[in-house]
Amino acid sequence: MTEATSAAVTLVAMPVQRLMPTPESADLIELTRDLARRELAPRVDAAEKAAEMPRDVYLTLGEAGLLSLPYPEEYGGGGQPYEVYLQVIEEIAHAWMSVAVGTSVHSLSCYALATVGSETQRKELLPDMLSGRLLGAYGLSEPDAGSDVSAISTRARRSEDGSSYTVRGRKAWISNAGYADFYTTFVRTGDDPTRGLSCLLIPADTDGLSFGAPERKMGLASDPVREVVLDDAVVDAGRLIGEEGEGMKIALAALDSGRLGIAAAATGLAQSALDVAIAYAKERRQFGRAIADNQGLAFLLADMEAAVSSGRTAYLYAARLRDAGRPFTREAAVAKLAATDAAMKVTTDAVQVLGGAGYTQDFPVERMMRDAKVTQIFEGTNQIQRLVISRQLLK
Amino acid sequence: MNIVVCVKYVPDAQGDRTFNEDNTTDRANVDGLLSELDEYAVEAALKIVEAGEGEVTVVTVGPEQAADALKKALQMGADKAVHVSDEAIHGSDAVATSLVLAEAVKKIGSPDLVLTGLSSTDGTMSVVPAMLAERLGLPQVTQVSTLEVADGTVKGRRDGDAVSESLEASLPALVSVTDQINEPRYPSFKGIMAAKKKPVETWSLADLGVDAGQVGLDAAWTKVESFAQRPPREQGEIVTDEGDGGTKLAEFLAAQKFV
Ligand SMILES: Cc1cc2nc3c(=O)[nH]c(=O)nc-3n(C[C@H](O)[C@H](O)[C@H](O)COP(=O)(O)OP(=O)(O)OC[C@H]3O[C@@H](n4cnc5c(N)ncnc54)[C@H](O)[C@@H]3O)c2cc1C
Ligand SMILES: Cc1cc2nc3c(=O)[nH]c(=O)nc-3n(C[C@H](O)[C@H](O)[C@H](O)COP(=O)(O)OP(=O)(O)OC[C@H]3O[C@@H](n4cnc5c(N)ncnc54)[C@H](O)[C@@H]3O)c2cc1C
């Protein structure tokens, strides 16, 4: 097949029917599809191949109000329920997975301030963070603290007059690193493994904050991931979010919500792979007929559809619980597990449907397969999701 | 500075084009949108008003769904909208469309500036702006890629194949703009929320005092007799250059009677 056919296949319109709760949220989906079609789809292929972080794309999304949807209007947010915000993330992921992840990480990094920050902090800092001009990063993981957050060793020592913290340590695997304007960072202020953690909102231009080399990743190339090195970085005490010792609680609560962003993004990615597979299966002919005319292949497509829909249903259910103020930790973990395993399966099967073509970089499904893998790893590996789910079941 | 922008609701070029039994474009049962070329006119109007003061009114002539085109323009930032909708308008040609638009613009009030797109993306005749200017008795500055409004005049540059013309007219005037003039903004979510509260008026032909006999398919100066789908493009021929590429190319062109 030619380049032109491959591009045509890439640009299949988003086919998902959405039942939106309000007319304005339906318009928001329209706007997102328009942005995806005109700003994301034409650029994803080249940017991912060049491992380019499209900072300008985030400015465009920010101007359209897409970087602040789930936060209150009084601070410049969109005041939208998670049910709506997550479907926007899914739409973005359908066109460009890295940008959906970057958007979700940005939301995650605003979470601490928006939920436990003092009124003074919120008034002072949140409007800028939600303006769409700034981008955030979330610093939880460390080289020796991945699944085990209680092993965090980055130290923050308070100055004698109590006015600042001196922070020393390394944060690993930080998405948006080097491009973000603020880093929501979890640090150790006390020795108790879980109750000794605190949350600091560190500006990018802080002295002593620097970056490691970009990680050479398997996929998600346009999401720049690096270490954030804190070498006696001095952070104003006014940047402590919540109380000292509340860090673990904040981080876990943020992840409950962040996980839903990843579930939604994984769903959009899987939908995109399925769309390419369907278009290809109808066009490609072998044995004198379209390959889709073989039930063995058509059933593969049916299983892919069932997997994508299950992931979507799971994240929407968790989102609606969250929007209603109900506990949703278990359901969020189920959604993350179901949607990301679905994404892995569906993208792998999409490569299968395209045969040899699927294994080449002339078609987007090999990239989607590589992008899918990380969704089973970050924001809590899928083993950790099982840990969360089973603990909830057995408590 | 009060500006009226004429915006057309057109079938989505991404979708399949279908036709009614009377050979008119099916505008009711297909996905439609604000003609992309008219977004440039809306953007130009918003820029002028944002730099000074005034109001942007968008007007469309079209079926019920054409309200979507108005909504998009309001979400981009226009202040109010007028929708002219009447069963009798179905099948109207450019002559009738310009008549209805002219009466609508008069009823809106006397704007300082009427802006239109370069051409619709479906009919693509590029004649409505000139007809509308004639009917309103306004100077017409068409197909400009720059636009400046100051001291009661409007200036613009029209880029042709060979030369660029600098045009100037006194206000009030009608100006049609090209897709080179600006980069239309996307609506923002705030714009979407704000648009919900903006006024949209719906007018019938009777509201405009236009006689139904002057518009519609029966009054049209031209009629579509029949139509056929364009045949699918045939697979191209790939010539592998084994030293004789030039000869093969010449043979191909000769066979097609190009040389
Ligand atoms: C592309 C990318 C972007 C990322 N972005 C960010 C970011 O922005 N911010 C951030 O803070 N972090 C980020 N991370 C880090 C990510 O969250 C961690 O990689 C993840 O939490 C796993 O930690 P680890 O890599 O140290 O693996 P480990 O914790 O060492 O796990 C290794 C394996 O052991 C398994 N395992 C561990 N503990 C158990 C257990 N108790 N029971 C069963 N199995 C277990 C895991 O499931 C996994 O399979 C990112 C990672 C990647 C790859
Ligand atoms: C398939 C097809 C069948 C047609 N059949 C007939 C037919 O049977 N008989 C016939 O006479 N004509 C027919 N037409 C022409 C049709 O009526 C014209 O589309 C219409 O009159 C406007 O002309 P235009 O779209 O070429 O506008 P243009 O002159 O290209 O538009 C220029 C600008 O004028 C403004 N404008 C144009 N139309 C509107 C509007 N409705 N509301 C608000 N602003 C507007 C916009 O700013 C636009 O950018 C047909 C067109 C098509 C595509």
Please determine, for residue B58, whether its predicted confidence score (pLDDT) is greater than 50.
Answer: yes
Residue A242: which pLDDT band, with cuts at 50, 70 and 90?
A: very high
What does the alpha-carbon distance between residue B146 and residue B182 come to, in Å, rounded to a whole number?
Answer: 8
Average of per-residue pLDDT values in chain A: 95
Amino acid at A32: T
Cβ(A70) – ligand 1 distance below 6 Å: no
Q: What is the arithmetic mean of pLDDT over B79-105?
A: 96
What does the alpha-carbon distance between residue A69 and residue A62 come to, in Å, rounded to a whole number?
Answer: 10
What does the alpha-carbon distance between residue A113 and residue A124 come to, in Å, rounded to a whole number?
Answer: 11
What does the alpha-carbon distance between residue A72 and residue A76 come to, in Å, rounded to a whole number?
Answer: 7
**In this structure, which CATH number among 3.40.50.2000, 3.40.30.10, 1.10.540.10, 1.10.40.30 belongs to the domain A10-129?**
1.10.540.10
What does the alpha-carbon distance between residue A89 and residue A82 come to, in Å, rounded to a whole number?
Answer: 10
Closest C-alpha residue for ligand 1 atom 25: A146
Percent of chain A whose predicted confidence (pLDDT) is above 90: 96
- Asked if A154 and A187 count as a contact pair (C-beta separation under 8 A), the reply is yes
Nearest ligand, CA B122: 2
Residue B158 phi, psi (nearest 5) = -105, 115
Please determine, for residue A2, whether its predicted confidence score (pLDDT) is greater than 70.
Answer: no
Residue B143: which pLDDT band, with cuts at 50, 70 and 90?
A: very high
- Asked if A103 and A67 count as a contact pair (C-beta separation under 8 A), the reply is yes
Q: What is the arithmetic mean of pLDDT over A315-344?
A: 98
Q: What is the arithmetic mean of pLDDT over A296-313?
A: 98
User: What is the predicted ipTM?
Assistant: 0.85
List Cβ<8 Å contacts ≥24 apart for A46-49: A47/A221, A47/A222, A48/A98, A48/A221, A48/A222, A48/A367, A49/A221, A49/A361
The residue that leads in pLDDT, B47 or B238, is B47
- Tell me which residue of B16, B9, B25 sits closest to B65, measured CA to CA: B9
Question: What tens digit of pLDDT does each residue of A343-362 get?
Answer: 999 999 999 999 999 999 99
Cβ(B13) – ligand 2 distance below 6 Å: no
Helix (H, G, I), strand (E, B) or coil at B230: coil
**pLDDT for residue B233:** 81
Please determine, for residue A120, whether its predicted confidence score (pLDDT) is greater than 70.
Answer: yes
Listed range (A10-24, A101-115, B60-74, B140-154) with the worst mean pLDDT: A10-24
Any idea which architecture A136-245 has in CATH?
Answer: Beta Barrel (2.40)
CA A308 to ligand 1 centroid distance, Å:
24
Predicted model pTM: 0.89
Q: What is the arithmetic mean of pLDDT over B131-158?
A: 96
The residue that leads in pLDDT, B238 or A104, is A104
Q: What is the arithmetic mean of pLDDT over B34-54?
A: 96
- Asked if A307 and A314 count as a contact pair (C-beta separation under 8 A), the reply is no
Here the tokens at position A379 are 């924001």
B259 close contact with A: CB closer than 8 A? no
**pLDDT for residue A12:** 59
CATH 3.40.50.620 fits B2-214, yes or no: yes
Percent of chain B whose predicted confidence (pLDDT) is above 70: 100
Pocket test for ligand 1, best of A173, A186, A211, A269 (most atoms within 8 A of CB): A173
Percent of chain A whose predicted confidence (pLDDT) is above 70: 97
Nearest to A69 among B71, B189, B196 (CB): B189
Please determine, for residue A214, whether its predicted confidence score (pLDDT) is greater than 70.
Answer: yes
Question: What tens digit of pLDDT does each residue of B107-140 get?
Answer: 999 899 999 999 999 988 999 999 999 999 999 9
**pLDDT for residue A5:** 42
How many angstroms separate the most distant Cα atoms in chain B? 73
Please report residues of A whose CB lies closer than 8 A to that of B186.
31, 34-35, 60, 63-64
Which A-chain residues 36-65 have CB contacts (< 8 A) with chain B? 60, 63-65
Please determine, for residue B74, whether its predicted confidence score (pLDDT) is greater than 80.
Answer: yes
**pLDDT for residue B116:** 98
Place of tokens 């439609």: B32
DSSP string, A347-394: HHHHHHHHHHHHTSTTSTHHHHHHHHHHHTTSSS-HHHHHHHHHHHHH
Helix (H) or strand (E) holding A323: helix A295-323
**pLDDT for residue A76:** 94
Burial A68-94 (b: 16+ CB within 10 A, else e): bbbbeeebbbbbbbbbbbbbbbbbbbb
Average of per-residue pLDDT values in chain B: 93
DSSP 8-state code for residue A49: H
Percent of chain B whose predicted confidence (pLDDT) is above 90: 75
**Interface probe with B: pick from A24, A66, A87, most Cβ of B within 10 Å:** A24
Nearest ligand, CA B27: 2
DSSP 8-state code for residue A146: S
Is the CA virtual torsion A342, A345, A348, A354 positive or negative?
A: negative
Nearest to B186 among A13, A23, A34 (CB): A34
CA B220 to ligand 2 centroid distance, Å:
12
Question: What tens digit of pLDDT does each residue of B208-254 get?
Answer: 999 999 999 999 998 888 888 888 887 777 778 888 888 888 888 89
Please determine, for residue B26, whether its predicted confidence score (pLDDT) is greater than 90.
Answer: no
Helix (H, G, I), strand (E, B) or coil at A84: helix
Kindly list the distances between the CA atom of residue A254 and the CA atoms of A108, A113, B28, in Å, as whole numbers in the listed order: 6, 11, 46
Distance from CA of A93 to the nearest CA of B (A): 19
CATH no., domain A249-394:
1.20.140.10
Q: Quick check: is A379 catalytic? A: yes
Residue A3: which pLDDT band, with cuts at 50, 70 and 90?
A: very low
Question: What tens digit of pLDDT does each residue of A165-199 get?
Answer: 999 999 999 999 999 999 999 999 999 999 999 99
**pLDDT for residue A1:** 39
CB neighbour list of residue A247: distance below 8 Å, 6 or more residues apart: A186, A187, A189, A197, A198, A199
Domain-wise residue ranges, chain A? 10-129, 136-245, 249-394
Interface contact A63-B186, CB threshold 8 A? yes
Kindly list the distances between the CA atom of residue A226 and the CA atoms of A170, A211, A212, A251, B3, in Å, as whole numbers in the listed order: 10, 6, 6, 20, 51
